[in-house]
Amino acid sequence: MKQTLSAIVIFLMSLPAIAATGEASAAEAAIEPLGTPYVILIGLIFIGLLVGFWMYYMRWDEEEKKQDPK
């Protein structure tokens, strides 16, 4: 078990060194600009997730107050 954990730690520590020796650098990587519709779509999905989590929390908080009145 200890050997496995130490091997995993050594492997994870060596990943940046492996990445630094790669042939493709960040300057050579081709980056395509993202279109406006995609940015709007991602923004709407993000806002929708926030609203959904907020609504779930409010409903959960409401149910908790009904079950445990003080």
Tokens of 21: 């020796």
Read off the pLDDT of residues 25-54 as tens digits, 9 standing for 90 and up.
666 667 778 899 999 999 999 999 999 999
Asked whether the predicted pLDDT for residue 61 surpasses 80, the reply is no
Predicted confidence at residue 4, as pLDDT, reads: 85
* Average pLDDT, integer, range 45-70: 84
CA–CA separation, 51 vs 54, rounded Å? Answer: 5
Q: Where are the domains of the chain?
A: 34-70
For the chain, the average pLDDT equals 81
State if pTM tops 0.75. Answer: no
Tokens of 9: 């730690």
